[in-house]
Amino acid sequence: MPPKHFLQLKDFTRDELDHLFARTRWIKERFKRYEIYQPLRDRTLAMVFEKASTRTRVSFEAGMNQLGGIAINLNRGDTQLSRGEPIEDVARVISRMVDVVMIRTFEQTIIERFAAHSRVPVINGLTNEYHPCQILADIYTYIEHRGSIAGRTVAWIGDSNNVCNTWLQAAVVFGFNVHVSTPPGYAVEPERAGIYDDSHYVSFDDPMDACRGADLVTTDVWTSMGFEAENEERRRDFEHWMVDAAKMREAKPDALFMHCLPAHRGEEVAAEVIDGPQSVVWDEAENRLHAQKALLEYVVCGWVNP
């Protein structure tokens, strides 16, 4: 059997993703009752970080430990990658020693090359193009608060980045709509987003229009990791794309607000929104832990029935 990689959200079928959500709920409930569940005893996760992280690092390491396994953290500078060892050779070696690998890196092609030479499952912990673990947690969080996301409207305000691209893939898989508003010059690139069906998103010039009637409003940093040189230009270009109370008022009265974090209050989101009653960002961050435990269980152990 080839290893079960999770490099983009659409690598998994709707059934597999629904299964992950069912397992997330089961794993989270047991964890909250302090019940031990260790299907990954004696298993090892290698985490390769070529970019900074708080949530991804802690949730994968804590999650692997809670499942009975161990996690090894490899920052780029500590490995021979920083001295030019080919990613294919690193994949061949690491995957003979561990049971699953999580990578946070730059171009999607890097993780694809790693996966093509790996004997074990590879999980995308964020690339320039996608952030599938984030959207697993986000959709699970939506379901917890509001039930099924099918048929709902998600407003994406800001940069058409890795998180946006993954929302667009999720819209196709789950059957919801995304209202996207980006500044001129930052529009969605469907091919880069990995979507060949554009019937699930609509672009709006004005972010207020994108928020109108939304069930969920979400955004992310204006400058993603790896694009720091564009920071000043982006601050100017994105000035009118801050999610503030006026934009939230355009959404449905019971609309939720999400942000993958880290957030910059006063830039992409106003403090009154992220710290306000519609914000579920802390549940969203916590659910990274539970959703990724379900993901680790699935890629290592296969389809587990409770």
CB of 97 to ligand CP, least distance (A): 24
User: Contact letters (x/-) for ligand NVA, 142-161, by CB under 6 A?
Assistant: -------------------x
Q: What is the 3-state secondary structure (H, E, C) of 71-135?
A: EEEEEHHHCHHHHCCCHHHHHHHHCCCCCEEEEECCCHHHHHHHHHCCCCCEEECCCCCCCHHHH
Q: Of 108, 134, 223, 279, which one interacts with ligand CP (CB under 6 A)?
A: 134
220 classed as catalytic: yes
288 classed as catalytic: yes
Q: Considering 169, 260, 278, 292, which one is annotated as catalytic?
A: 260
Is 220 a binder of ligand NVA (CB under 6 A)?
yes
Comparing CB distances to ligand CP, the nearer of 56 and 181 is: 56
Contacts with 145 (C-beta within 8 Å, 6 or more apart), sequence order: 256, 280, 283
> Contact, 303 vs 15, CB < 8 A?
no
Is 8 a binder of ligand NVA (CB under 6 A)?
no
Q: Is 303 left (phi over 0), alpha (psi -120 to 50) or beta?
A: beta
Comparing CB distances to ligand CP, the nearer of 56 and 141 is: 56
C-alpha atoms less than 13 angstroms from C-alpha of 79 in its C-beta half-sphere = 20
Number of chain positions touching ligand CP (CB under 6 A): 8
| Region from 3-11, 39-47, 49-57, 241-249 binding ligand CP, contact rule CB under 6 A | 49-57
Give the type of residue at 111.
I
The CA–CA distances, whole Å, from 298 to 52, 95, 267, 304 equal 26, 17, 38, 7
Is 260 a binder of ligand CP (CB under 6 A)?
yes
Q: Of 27, 47, 71, 163, which one interacts with ligand NVA (CB under 6 A)?
A: 163
CB of 162 to ligand NVA, least distance (A): 5
- Give helix 132-146 / helix 14-32 axis angle, nearest 10°: 70
Residues that bind ligand NVA (CB under 6 A): 126, 161-163, 220-221, 224-225, 260
Binding site for ligand CP (CB under 6 A): 53-56, 126, 134, 260-261
Q: Which residues are catalytic?
A: 104, 131, 134, 220, 260, 288
